[in-house]
Amino acid sequence: MYIPKHFEITEWSQILPFVAEARSADLITVDSSGQPLATLMPCNWIVGEIFEDEYGWLLMHMSKANEQWKSILPGAKGLAIIRGPQAYISPTNYEHKTTDHKVVPTWNYQAVHLSGTVEISEDIEVLRGIVTDLTQVHEAGREKSWSASESDPTYFEAQLRGIVAVTLKVTKVEAVYKLSQNRSAEDRKRIADDLSNSALPEERLIAEQMKRQL
């Protein structure tokens, strides 16, 4: 991923919560003909001790009807893209818009890329663990949470047989938060105030992120 130094994020205290909050990833792989394939999947990034060139496992699952998993051979490489909010940045927010006019629009965004080796498993117990853990993560904030143990066991197992486990052993982490860090504090404040009044929820989220850094 292309990351100008202004926008590079390396602190785990920012990267891990971002991925957890995003809750899903686009997994990209390439089949034997060179055709890129992608699937959006809910994910759970399990990171224990950080080792050199090894950053935990991204746990996912996809339908057996999805052709992508069938093209993933042992040792295949994959890229998981975790996206955050995005926003168009208007030059009307820049101080120089009325002086030298050397201003152009740009795009603010947040994203994390996880690269590594993809593994596929049809093991029912592996799948049960992934689905159960994902359910616990996403039910945690609900007033009346639901547990996988409440599902009819026969029905639940039949559903598990319709999916495959997809695990990305992460070997590279890249993170970019493009939040106008290359602009003056005054410009950044104007941009954040402008986006705060946007009708688009994503742009208001970018405004919140920018204000935290001001």
Residue-by-residue DSSP string for 140-161:
TTSTT---GGGS-HHHHHHHHT
Q: Is the pLDDT of residue 51 over 60?
A: no
| Structure-block tokens of residue 149 | 């143990």
Q: Among candidates 123, 122, 130, 29, which has minimal Cα distance to 73? A: 29
Mean pLDDT of 182-202: 96
- Which residue matches tokens 């663990």? 129
User: What single-letter DSSP state applies at residue 54?
Assistant: B
Predicted confidence (pLDDT) per residue in 54-102, tens digit: 799 999 999 999 999 999 999 999 999 999 999 999 999 998 887 888 8
Residues contacting residue 86 through CB under 8 Å, at least 6 positions apart? 107, 108, 109, 110, 202, 203, 206
In this prediction, residue 52 carries a pLDDT of: 58
Residue 61 dihedral angles phi and psi, to the nearest 5° = -155, 150
Q: Is the pLDDT of residue 49 over 80?
A: no
Percentage of the chain modeled with pLDDT above 90? 88
pTM over 0.95: no
Percentage of the chain modeled with pLDDT above 70? 98
Q: Among candidates 87, 89, 83, which has minimal Cα distance to 183? A: 89
Q: What is the helix (H) or strand (E) element at residue 34, kind and residue range?
A: none
Predicted confidence (pLDDT) per residue in 140-155, tens digit: 989 999 998 999 999 9
Span of 7-11, 100-104, 155-159, 181-185 with lowest mean pLDDT: 100-104
For the chain, the structural domain boundaries read: 5-84+104-181
In this prediction, residue 100 carries a pLDDT of: 81
Q: How confident is the model at residue 214 (pLDDT cuts 50, 70, 90)?
A: confident
Strand spans (E) along the chain:
24-30, 36-42, 44-46, 57-63, 77-89, 106-121, 163-178
**Homologous superfamily of domain range 5-84+104-181:** Electron Transport, Fmn-binding Protein; Chain A (2.30.110.10)
In this prediction, residue 98 carries a pLDDT of: 76
56, 45 contact by CB (below 8 A): yes
Q: Among candidates 144, 173, 149, 191, which has minimal Cα distance to 56? A: 173
